[in-house]
């Protein structure tokens, strides 16, 4: 039996989640936007190591509960380890979230960077809706890759020398058409929820703008630089031939793939921890209320 891919990416997940949000923004959402004042039962679809629980539980009213579900046994074991000394009521379900049935007993159904990895986003959204009580709330934190790619500024370089937006937009669209998995799903979720009968739909964007500042403390600079590299910015693209072959298989022309390889190779050499860089992930945060 082959290893589940995300079970091998716990280190990556741990190093990159903090690039997306400031902690006070979570507090603002919980207290000022969603106005959660009574204990709630939360279920997290594709919970990974329970990241969303670590952000939400300290902000939710006492006696709130958190249930996380994921197919990765190492992720679930890591989540249990994280929460074993925490003063919260938690439960973790190991299994394919698409196949596990949940009772209609939760006040909040949440997912974070999960829908982009499935082919049937609307079906998963319907399943999330189905486990909510009347007036329950669905909350989806999902990416819009192309807006994230447009939000880099590397000092000393034109943005067009760092990211080929037009090419990447077409590439992502072709990927979605071919595989059904959509890295731009975050911007589409408000439409999907409305089509599924959800009401009071709102969509926001993650607030954090990361600033790599070589004039800052060395440990801060190194931590951010390491996380940005882990997230893929300035990463070594590897050997040219397989890189180009992969992009061609995804629908790129040979010239487009060759240009992308040259750009990423150049960026991997230029992006060092003494560079000035600003970057915003622009994660989309969509919520709505279920009326039964």
Q: pLDDT for 267-291, tens place per residue?
A: 999 999 999 999 999 999 999 999 9
In a domain, 140, yes or no: yes
Q: What is the pLDDT of residues 40-64, one digit of tens each?
A: 999 999 999 999 999 999 999 999 9
In a domain, 229, yes or no: no
Q: What pLDDT is stored for residue 194 in this prediction? A: 98
- Whether 144 and 186 have beta carbons less than 8 Å apart is answered as yes
Which of the four pLDDT bands, split at 50, 70 and 90, describes residue 235?
very high
Q: What pLDDT is stored for residue 2 in this prediction? A: 61
- Whether 31 and 7 have beta carbons less than 8 Å apart is answered as no
In a domain, 237, yes or no: no
Q: What is the pLDDT of residues 195-219, one digit of tens each?
A: 999 999 999 999 999 999 999 999 9
Place of tokens 């290893």: 3
In this structure, what CATH number is given to the domain that contains residue 120? 3.40.50.150
Beta carbons within 10 angstroms of residue 287's beta carbon: 23
Whole-number Cα distances in Å, 138 to 103, 134, 141, 251: 15, 11, 10, 35
Number of folded domains that form the chain: 1
Percent of the chain's residues with pLDDT above 90? 97
In a domain, 62, yes or no: yes
Average pLDDT of 3-12? Answer: 94
Q: Which of 142, 135, 83 is nearest to 106 (CA)?
A: 135
| Helix, coil or strand: residue 286 | strand
In a domain, 51, yes or no: yes
For residue 21, is it left (φ>0), alpha (ψ between -120 and 50) or beta?
beta
Label residues 12-25 b or e (16+ Cβ within 10 Å = b): ebbbbbebbbeeeb
Average pLDDT of 120-127? Answer: 97
Higher pLDDT, 161 or 95: 95
In a domain, 203, yes or no: yes
Compute the mean pLDDT over every residue in the chain, rounded to the nearest whole number.
96
In a domain, 69, yes or no: yes
Average pLDDT of 6-26? Answer: 96
In a domain, 35, yes or no: yes
- Find the distance separating the first CA and the last CA of the chain, reported in whole Å: 42
Full domain range(s) for residue 195:
5-151+181-208+281-289
Q: What pLDDT is stored for residue 3 in this prediction? A: 85
140 forms beta bridges with 111, 286
Which of the four pLDDT bands, split at 50, 70 and 90, describes residue 1?
very low
Task: Report the alpha-carbon distance of residue 228 to residue 112 in Å, rounded.
Answer: 19
- Whether 30 and 38 have beta carbons less than 8 Å apart is answered as no
Average pLDDT of 174-181? Answer: 95
Which of the four pLDDT bands, split at 50, 70 and 90, describes residue 161?
confident
Q: What is the pLDDT of residues 80-90, one digit of tens each?
A: 999 999 999 99
Average pLDDT of 180-184? Answer: 97
Element (H, E) at 180: none
């Amino acid at each position: 039996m082959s290893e589940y891919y995300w079970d091998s990416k716990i280190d990556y997940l741990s190093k990159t989640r903090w690039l997306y949000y400031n902690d006070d923004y979570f507090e603002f959402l919980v207290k000022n936007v969603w106005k959660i004042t009574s204990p709630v039962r939360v279920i997290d679809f594709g919970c990974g190591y329970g990241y969303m629980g670590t952000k939400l539980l300290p902000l939710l009213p006492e006696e709130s509960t958190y249930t996380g579900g994921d197919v990765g046994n190492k992720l679930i074991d890591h989540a249990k380890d994280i929460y074993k000394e925490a003063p919260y009521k938690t439960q973790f379900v190991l299994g394919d979230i698409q196949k596990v049935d949940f009772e209609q007993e939760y006040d909040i159904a949440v997912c974070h960077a999960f829908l982009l990895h499935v082919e049937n986003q609307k079906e998963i959204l319907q399943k999330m809706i189905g486990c909510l009580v009347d007036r329950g709330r669905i909350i989806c934190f999902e990416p819009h890759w192309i807006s994230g790619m447009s939000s880099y500024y590397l000092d000393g370089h034109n943005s067009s020398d760092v990211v080929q937006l037009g090419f990447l937009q077409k590439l992502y669209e072709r990927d979605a058409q071919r595989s059904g998995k959509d890295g731009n799903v975050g911007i589409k979720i408000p439409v999907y929820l409305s089509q599924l009968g959800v009401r009071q739909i709102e969509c926001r964007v993650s607030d954090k703008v990361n600033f790599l500042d070589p004039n800052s403390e060395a440990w801060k600079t190194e931590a951010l630089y390491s996380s940005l590299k882990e997230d893929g910015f300035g990463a070594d693209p590897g050997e040219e031939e397989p890189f180009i072959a992969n992009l061609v298989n995804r629908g790129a022309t040979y010239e487009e793939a060759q240009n992308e390889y040259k750009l990423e190779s150049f960026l991997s050499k230029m992006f060092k921890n003494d560079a000035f860089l600003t970057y915003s992930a622009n994660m989309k945060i969509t919520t709505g209320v279920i009326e039964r």
